[in-house]
Structure 1
Amino acid sequence: MDSTPRRSLSVPAIKRKHVEFVSPDGQDKIAKLRDRAGEEIPTYAKVMTDCLLKTMKQMSEIHQCFN
C-alpha cells in the first residue's frame, strides 16, 4: 500500500521558480519572490530565505575585501 499523501485535485500545484543564486541580482530575485508570495510562504521557508540572504550579503562583503 502506498502511504504517500496525494494532493487534492481542487488545490492547484505550487509553481516553483528557479533563481540563480550566484548571479549579482540573486538577492533581489529572492526578495521579490518573497514579497509576491506574501503570506503563502511557510514560516520555515521565510527563515531559510532570510538566512540565505544574510549569507549571500556576508559572502559579498568578504569578496569585496579581497578585491
Structure 2
Amino acid sequence: MVTVSLYHYLFVSTILFSLGIFGIVTRKNAVMVLMGIELILNAANINFVAFARYGNFGFQGQL
C-alpha cells in the first residue's frame, strides 16, 4: 500500500498551478480566465494544507 507523502500533494498542486497558468494565458473568455485563477488559488490551498499536515513547525497558540 502506498502512503501519501508531502511530495504527492506538491505534485498535484504543481499540476493544478500549471493548468491554471495555461488557462489564463490561452483563453480570452473572462469566465475561463477566472477558472484559471481559481485553479491557481486551489493549488496554493493544497500547499498550505500539505505543509500544515507534514511540516513540523510546532505552532502553539489559541485559535
Taking structure 1 as the reference length, what is the TM-score of the superposition? 0.47
Higher relative contact order (CA closer than 8 Å, sequence separation 6+): 2
Q: Give the alignment's TM-score, normalised by structure 2.
A: 0.50
Larger % of helix: which? 2
Q: Which has the larger radius of gyration?
A: 1
